[in-house]
Amino acid sequence: MTSTQFKLDLDQFIGTALSATPSELHPYFEAFRTLYTRKLWHQLTQKLFQFFENPLARPYRVDTFERFVRDFENKINQLRLVELGVKVSQDIDNPQKHLAFLTSLLSRINTEQSKEAHVLLLASIAHAKLLYGDLEGTKGDMDSAWRILDSLEGVEGSVNAAYYGVAADYYKAKAEYAPYYRHSLLYLACVDPEKDLTPEERLLRAHDLAISAFLGDTIYNFGELLMHPILDSLDGTNHEWLKKLLFTFNEGNIGKFESLAPLFPKEPILQENYAFLKQKICLMALIESVFKRSATDRTMSFQTIAQETGLLKEEVEYLVMKALSLKLIKGSLDQVEEKAQITWVQPRVLSREQIGGLAKRLEEWVDKLNTVEKRIAPEVLTSA
């Protein structure tokens, strides 16, 4: 049934609503009557949002949408309509009816003229399918949503949040850590965690981001996560040690890593992947070792690298090759001389200790410049 075929008996709807709902909700329905009669669609939309946000209205949201909003849904902003529809759909527990409600709404949206509404609805349908275990259907709707989203500019945050939120949940269900990490951070960039997420949701998000950072096979830069206030959700909880472990990896501190390793059984998945994590901390230690050196002192012997990373000398060559293949560093290997010449190291966020070390090197560099200036100044004056 299209919205043009839907016929509203306003007096009957309002009368039934007033007799069936708590008195606290009656002012909303009286306002609905007035705004509808005067065809003030924008104001009516705003009043509907207020009504749907009222906890007392929850049992009546589906009926209000189906019996009232359907009559004028083509007269209001289509993105706002979809936002209302998505909110209402959360009250439908039956999986088939839930999906039928959303897909019916999608069929009534002009997708060419309302692309943001189309994306939001596709993402919501994808999320519903994910909840009901249809991973293939979820991925199909996600891909359709992304093809539209990728062509748009100036998209509203709620639309981006819907897409990145379901994408993160999909990759979590697939245990694909790196894509989850990226999409989850993008989701957080589109919402206000303090307002839009409960404390429990913030804690779960911080926990899952930490785990994905550790286990993502392409994630060696934790900077965006380390700077994000979502990590504060771990403070004072049983998962606080994960935050310490994140900073430990960022510093490439093998000693701290080994001191925290006894806690890994608290997170069985970390314990199961201990070998991978050990290699990862060694790679981070290599990056840190290179970073601490001046640009003129980045030719390192295998023996030096072994000492810096806690590895055996014969394991160093493989580690450096791994770092080169992951583009964590750039340079070359001299297998005969057993040396690695590093010309570049991946930029990353620094801890306070690392910033202190960088400041010290800058001071030394400035001192050298001053020495050179004092030595050549007399010659310049003489030649002048």
Enter the pTM of the model.
Answer: 0.87
Calculate the alpha carbon distances from 158 to 82, 190, 201, 225, 263 in Å: 11, 7, 17, 21, 38
Eight-state DSSP code of residue 114? -
For 329, the enclosing helix (H) or strand (E) is strand 329-334
Distance CA 155, CA 338 (A): 53
Ranges of the chain whose pLDDT falls below 50: 1-4
Tokens of 236: 């004072």
Q: What is the model's pLDDT at position 21?
A: 97
CA dihedral 3, 6, 8, 13 (to 10 degrees): -90
Q: How confident is the model over 251-296, as pLDDT tens digits?
A: 999 999 999 999 999 999 999 999 999 999 999 999 999 988 887 8
27 CB burial (10 A radius; 0-12, 13-18, 19+) = exposed
Domain architecture of the chain: domains with CATH: 292-370 (1.10.10)
Which pLDDT tens digit goes with each residue over 290-316? 988 887 888 999 999 999 999 999 999
| Both structure tokens of 277 | 């994590």
Q: d(Cα 305, Cα 308) in Å, to the nearest integer? A: 5
